[in-house]
Amino acid sequence: MANYFNTLPLREQLEQLAKCRFMDMSEFSDGVDALKGKKMVVIGCGAQGLNQGLNLRDSGLDVSYTLRAEAIEQKRQSWKNATENGFTVGTYEELIPTADVVLNLTPDKQHTAVVNAVMPLMKEGACLSYSHGFNIVEEGMQIRDDLTVIMVAPKCPGSEVRAEYVRGFGVPTLIAVHEDNDPKGEGLALAKAYAVGTGGHKAGVLMSSFIAEVKSDLMGEQTILCGMLQTGSLLCYDKMIEEGIDAGYASKLIQYGWETITEALKYGGVTNMLDRLSNPAKIKAFDLSEELKEIMRPLYNKHQDDIIDGTFSRVMMEDWANDDKNLLGWRAETAETAFEKMPAGDVEISEQEYFDNGILMVAMVKAGVELAFETMTAAGIIADSAYYESLHETPLIANTIARKKLYEMNATISDTAEYGCYLYNHACLPLLGDFMKGIKSDVIGKGLSLDDMGVDNARLIEVNTALRSHPVEAIGATLRGHMADMKKIV
């Protein structure tokens, strides 16, 4: 199989990358009609599979699960998940031939095997749905001409997908139609109905393309989302220890700090995150982030280039073929880091203190978000996509670190994200070596100790203007506005 993206002419590559549109609520007035009475068969019953299925069934749709024969025979967790919730479970041979829509919710790594197994069993004219386009775009999977191929990707963990639905809401969702596989022209109608069935339409739906989704998703997850947070955690922890900060305090400041500072990011963008700092600290964080951006820009460019030209997926798939030797080795290495092994201390840290004593962390988040956004948009990805795949998702990943440090983050994200995260981490650690030599506890661990909190007016205005005029802030304000309209009318 050949990389699908690389087979397209540049004109079409650019057109596909630029696809992303925030859909209007009125576009979902048909509800789930397009799927009503159709047989939906979900492959895989992990967190996404189970929770999406629960939502779809509660929306009046006919959902059942198909698992590999071994999973059923051995009554594995996926089998228990499905049967205990009262779903029909059967083998591929039993259920796939009856399906009008097959929902492939297995991990990326299994897609080729799964799709090769189910495709011959699918009935003429059925629909195959993905939640991630890697298999189509990077692996170049060829789908039978009579089948419709769509993507519906809720931009939250499976548990959230369910919890928000039960509340009467939903999670932001990305949909796409693989234009090469839309023989009956019904792909969009099916994808919209699916998004309604999971409740996503209430929280906002982005109409994208398989290509834009894959290229932006890969870039975001391996740089700012996971890579930057992992690298930042390790560097900040080691620096605090070197500076004589209590290890328990250092561990806690990082573990919960990412969550706290990115909560401010979620509400009001990079500007609001920096506005949480005192004026001198804000200027300090700004200067640090400018320095970081200059040092790291080539790395972000390299990641984006490798993603666009397929180098990244090729190298990762070589590791898949090599029994995940790299991935598993790096995973073990992460578990042995000093930060990972030091439990958070039993100390009280106030919400504001996470900002005041974590100036460098704020600078790292700012630098990572802006770089990822700038790099993605420079590569032809539209600002809306770039926003969602950088700034919007950072708090979600930060939450996983708060739960159980880097272990939890790497366990929650996909293998693809994890692999990219390690690549980034290994390149970024040495890259920031010299920079970190100049760092002291005033920007990580203790906070500025200034007698005079005064700042130069002109400099403050300059910094504030720079913050507020970054393009990620403009698109962020617009998209958060859409979300707020839909979410709380408080």
Which residues are catalytic, by number? 132
CB of 82 to other proteins, least distance (A): 10
Q: Which two tokens stand for residue 361?
A: 């962390």
Residue 221 assigned to a binding site: yes
- Comparing CB distances to other proteins, the nearer of 202 and 303 is 202
Is residue 76 near other proteins by the rule CB under 8 A?
A: no
CB of 484 to other proteins, least distance (A): 11
Calculate the CA dihedral of residues 340, 343, 345, 346 and round it to 10 degrees. Answer: 150
Rg of the Cα trace of the chain? 23
- Comparing CB distances to other proteins, the nearer of 59 and 334 is 59
Encoded one letter per residue, x for contact with other proteins by CB under 8 A and - for no contact, window 156-175 reads: ----------xxxx------
CB of 59 to other proteins, least distance (A): 5
Name the packing angle between helices 359-378 and 279-309 (round to 10°): 40
Is residue 36 near other proteins by the rule CB under 8 A?
A: yes
210/134 Cα distance (integer angstroms): 8
187-226 residues in contact with other proteins (CB under 8 A) are 202
97-116: buried (b, 16+ CB within 10 Å) or exposed (e) per residue?
A: eebbbbbbbbebbbbbebbe
Name the packing angle between helices 457-468 and 279-309 (round to 10°): 30
Is residue 9 near other proteins by the rule CB under 8 A?
A: no
312/304 Cα distance (integer angstroms): 9
Is residue 438 near other proteins by the rule CB under 8 A?
A: no
Which residues, 6 or more positions from 194, have their beta carbon under 8 angstroms from its beta carbon? 35, 56, 101, 129, 150, 152, 175
Q: Establish how many alpha carbons lie within 13 A of residue 10's alpha carbon, considering only the half-sphere containing its beta carbon.
A: 1
Q: Which two tokens stand for residue 318?
A: 């070589």
Please select the residue that binds other proteins; options are 8, 13, 62, 272, rule is CB under 8 A: 62
Burial of 395 (0-12, 13-18, 19+ CB in 10 A): buried
Is residue 37 near other proteins by the rule CB under 8 A?
A: yes
Residue 52 assigned to a binding site: no
Residue 110 assigned to a binding site: yes
Of 51-59, 89-97, 175-183, 404-412, the window that binds other proteins (rule: CB under 8 A) is: 51-59
Residue 217 assigned to a binding site: yes
3-state secondary structure 77-110: HHHHHHHHCCCCEECHHHHHHHCCEEEECCCHHH
- Comparing CB distances to other proteins, the nearer of 189 and 247 is 189
Residue that has been written with the tokens 């906070």 in this structure: 447
Is residue 427 near other proteins by the rule CB under 8 A?
A: no
Residue 393 assigned to a binding site: yes
Residue 48 assigned to a binding site: yes
Residue 428 assigned to a binding site: no
Q: Which of 464, 216, 224 is nearest to 361 (CA)?
A: 224
Is residue 185 near other proteins by the rule CB under 8 A?
A: no
Alpha helices for 177-310 (secondary structure H): 187-197, 200-203, 210-220, 229-242, 247-275, 279-309
Name the packing angle between helices 247-275 and 457-468 (round to 10°): 80
Residue 76 assigned to a binding site: yes
Is residue 60 near other proteins by the rule CB under 8 A?
A: yes
78/90 Cα distance (integer angstroms): 12
Please select the residue that binds other proteins; options are 18, 20, 32, 299, rule is CB under 8 A: 32
Please select the residue that binds other proteins; options are 15, 22, 76, 85, rule is CB under 8 A: 85
CB of 123 to other proteins, least distance (A): 21
Residue 47 assigned to a binding site: yes
CB of 185 to other proteins, least distance (A): 25
Is residue 486 near other proteins by the rule CB under 8 A?
A: yes
Number of residues that bind other proteins (CB under 8 A): 24
Is residue 365 near other proteins by the rule CB under 8 A?
A: no
Is residue 58 near other proteins by the rule CB under 8 A?
A: yes
Q: Distance of alpha carbon 278 from its chain centroid, rounded?
A: 31
CB of 187 to other proteins, least distance (A): 23
Q: State the sign of the Cα–Cα–Cα–Cα dihedral 367, 370, 373, 376.
A: negative
CB of 169 to other proteins, least distance (A): 5
Please select the residue that binds other proteins; options are 57, 123, 293, 426, rule is CB under 8 A: 57
* Residue 41: φ, ψ to 5°: -120, 120
Residue 331 assigned to a binding site: no
67/78 Cα distance (integer angstroms): 8
CB of 54 to other proteins, least distance (A): 7
Would you tell me which residues interact with other proteins (CB under 8 A)?
Answer: 32, 36-37, 54, 57-62, 84-87, 166-169, 202, 486-490
Q: Pick out the residues of the known binding site.
A: 45-48, 68, 76, 78, 108-110, 158, 217, 221, 278, 389, 393, 414
Q: Pick out the residues of the known binding site for Mg(2+).
A: 217, 221, 389, 393
Q: Pick out the residues of the known binding site for NADP(+).
A: 45-48, 68, 76, 78, 108-110, 158
